Structure 1
Amino acid sequence: MSEALKKGNTITIIHDIDRRYGDMQASLNVWMQLYMSGRIEAWYCPGIRDGIINTTRFIAPGLAAVISNNIHNSVEENLNIYLENKKAIAAIEAEYKSFLSLCEPLMKHYDIKKVHEFWDMHLNQLTSDSDIYFISDSLSLISFPIKILKEENSTIFEFAYNTVKELKLGLMDNLKNREFIEIIPYDLLDPESKKLPKFYKGSFLHLDNIEYTKKIFIKQLENQLMLLNEVENYKLYITKHMDKRMHLQFAINHSAIFTTPNIEAKAISFTEKTMISSLDEFVQRFITSYCITDREKVKELIKHKIESLI
């Protein structure tokens, strides 16, 4: 599929959204990278399905098709049929289009032309009646001290300042009733590490060429300490198992926003309830298995990191 996309093809896919935990891991590790190309149009069928007979129709219109069926995901001995007959392919295409007419879009794509839509989606999520999970090797904008942008006194930061301010206000007004959980990699707090974070989706903030400095990093770490001391529903977890391909902001019962590494202005979001439920299971297992969640331990890690930077 990667090769097909590299050659300029587009793919329209109707997804099975009944995802198990292992399927969700595979989706995060592989599928999300394909979606970010912007050349995959993903749909799902919201109607009731019995889940007994599964079918695959892989069609290159007018050229060839592969079709197969299986019962309860038993695929070892099922028949795969390869077709080049034009009439047969036309019939399979018609069948596919008929099914597609019953479907709805699974996700939205964002690029540099949809900057305002991208941040509107974040604001809609942050003001929802839901706990929020932020998982990335960037630091969240919610814990970012925006005053430091104002101190720079430069118009280059105007859009970033206004955007981050609106997001922070949208969330902070509701933190009494729900949680914001920020999950970052351990190496950002490792006293021996020289690594500095990146601006979360800097390309969408018009900060493509602006880098974190030690000063900005220290200010954000101090701000995280303040939040941990004063805001009960702000939580910071640390993990040594961060997948560098995982940049996720997720609201239980609401929506998920996936982004590429920060050098690209590409992202996707989805709100389909079954996918959200599966993602919630994935996130909870990830936290239980791989995260340091003890508040005092996290605060000590932050303090040691600040000392190493001064």
Structure 2
Amino acid sequence: MTFSEKFDWLMGLTGTPNSLLARVIEQDPSYISRLRHGKRGIPKHADFLEGAAAFFVEQCTTEYRKKALLEMAGEHDPAAFDAPEQLARKLARWLMAEIPDRPDPVGLLLNDMSGMSGKKMPAKQPSRTAQGDMLVFYGEEGRRQAAAALLALALQQDGPATLMLYSDESKDWQHEVSPFSYEWAGALWQIILRGGRIRVIHKISQDLDEMLGVVRLWLPFYASGAVEPYYYPKLRDGVYKRTLSVVAGVGAAFSTSIGQQSGGVPTFLTTERMAVDSFTNEFTSYLSLCCPLVHIHAQGTPRYAQALQDYVGRGASSILQTDCLPLVTAPEDMLEALYARTPAAEREPFRRFCGEYRQRAAQHVNEHDLFHLLRLESPESIRGGKVLFSCLNLPAGTPPLAYTPRWYAEHLRNTLQMLEDCAKYHICILREEPAGYTVRAFEGGEVFILRESPANILFRVTESTMASAFWDFLVHKRDSMARTNRRQTATAIRELLEQFEIPE
């Protein structure tokens, strides 16, 4: 691998935009782009690479990312992440060294399959039909082989691939943690990074844990904006089950089973064009009967702005969990400081958004109960400049704004004033580590989950079973907390204000 290939791979693995890394290592985004695309060789003065390597190590927070980084860098000890500085230095050395290409395990699997003859094979091993355009696999291991082969075919295409997935059969073979699960996830990421699209129809299960587990597995892929999740809204009898995976114009894998049948079920893989087109039409026809499972809105799109309006103004009681104080009570001079940092072209639209949002939020909390599960910051964190002001729609390119003790105290005091003035606003003080997301569930309605990143992503859950599950979760969390009345909550906030040594 060349330097640019390794550098681009790390950027893709960690989902890092050029602009974000440029800010971290104090370089120009265009320079980062040239490094990624091989238009610049290994830098002669590459001290900044250690900073970049440290950033990449820090971004590897999931097991898949950690395992992939360790394998690529030639490190075999998972405990290496316990010494991040040492690991970063090793990663920087790996970046600087030109090494030969490593074989792709998915590609190796496909090569093994392509060399198979048409003779009879043992059970659970792939066999090929006489026509040469169909492979047959058996059992759960066969499902893995078929999936790996289909994804490898997708990655062999010159352009972006369109992947269509549906299954109401058991997916234990896919979801259990194993080397295959890492390879499967890595192949999906490669498809996404190459501009591909994935449409997946999820099974809505009566087993809520199973359904949420599937969504949790897919959540990182949802965040890419390249995955469209759907579900079939009507009941099915669960007798005749089917799995269908299609790479448009390339290949299709499919299987069928009855009830709880699992062992020995054959999975077929075909690359015959008419068959692939037929399966594509089958998937598209079924998709037309489905509904979006999770609406995914990226910041900067019209649907994101509309979703934020619904997020703040739906006509129902709600429970809100945040790591930060509400925008509606933010001090005016702090907002003005934030506006001044905003790129000139975005300043007035952003100012207008904040004004409309604050007005709608104030109106809503006067009409509907809002239970706010709120985490408060310590004076030490504020004085250290470690706490950034959080905003739902901060324009790209706006430098982050850290709280000063005066700003945070004033923001907290305004929130206390709203608690005392508004009978429908309730605060439950969270005493836990930051969650890293904002979630708001409306009674009998939708759920909004905001994940802050270089560009915010808003997940909007409309499927009733999932929405009810989120609502029940937040109700249980609210009710299991130490119950305090409004006066006790107000007293706790005043005691925190006193620690800032700023008189009320």
TM-score category (smaller protein): 0.7 to 0.9
Q: Which structure: larger Rg?
A: 2
Distance in 2 of aligned mates of 1:207 and 1:239? 29
- Tell me the TM-score normalised to structure 1 length: 0.79
Shift of residue 231, structure 1, vs aligned partner? 1.1
For structure 2, list consecutive stretches of 5 or more residues without a partner in the other structure.
1-183
Shift of residue 292, structure 1, vs aligned partner? 4.5
For structure 1, list consecutive stretches of 5 or more residues without a partner in the other structure.
none
Among candidates 441, 454, 458, match of residue 263 of structure 1: 454
Q: Is it true that 1:254 corresponds to 2:445 in the alignment?
A: yes
Structure that is richer in helix per residue: 2
- The question of whether the paired residues in 1 share the 8 Å contact of 2:396 and 2:455 is answered with no
Q: Deviations over 1:23-62 (max 9, x none)?
A: 4653675433321100101222233434555543233342
Give 1:5's aligned amino acid: W
Aligned to 1:225: 416
Distance in 2 of aligned mates of 1:88 and 1:164? 53
Shift of residue 281, structure 1, vs aligned partner? 2.0
Q: How does 1:67-216 map to 2 (within 5 A)?
A: 67-69=255-257, 71=259, 74=260, 77=263, 79=265, 81-84=267-270, 86=272, 89-114=276-301, 116-146=302-332, 148-150=334-336, 154=340, 156=342, 158-185=348-375, 188-190=376-378, 193-194=381-382, 195-201=386-392, 203-204=394-395, 207-216=398-407
Give 1:102's aligned amino acid: L
Distance in 2 of aligned mates of 1:302 and 1:89? 63
Aligned to 2:496: 305
Q: Deviations over 1:108-141 (max 9, x none)?
A: 3333431x54233222343322113322323332
Distance in 1 of aligned mates of 2:233 and 2:314? 23
Q: How does 1:267-278 map to 2 (within 5 A)?
A: 267-278=458-469
- The question of whether the paired residues in 2 share the 8 Å contact of 1:43 and 1:105 is answered with yes
Structure 1 stretch displaced more, 243-252 or 95-104 = 243-252
- The question of whether the paired residues in 1 share the 8 Å contact of 2:212 and 2:466 is answered with no
Distance in 2 of aligned mates of 1:282 and 1:161? 35
Give 2:221's aligned amino acid: L
Q: Is it true that 1:46 corresponds to 2:233 in the alignment?
A: yes
Shift of residue 92, structure 1, vs aligned partner? 3.5
Structure 1 stretch displaced more, 298-307 or 39-48 = 298-307
- The question of whether the paired residues in 2 share the 8 Å contact of 1:254 and 1:276 is answered with yes
- Tell me the TM-score normalised to structure 2 length: 0.52
Structure 1 stretch displaced more, 270-279 or 16-25 = 16-25
**Superposition RMSD in Å:** 3.4
User: Which of the pair has the greater relative contact order for Cα pairs under 8 Å at 6+ separation?
Assistant: 1
Distance in 2 of aligned mates of 1:204 and 1:23? 37
Shift of residue 12, structure 1, vs aligned partner? 0.2
Q: Deviations over 1:178-230 (max 9, x none)?
A: 11222233xx3445545524313353587443333322211111112112212
Distance in 1 of aligned mates of 2:305 and 2:291? 23
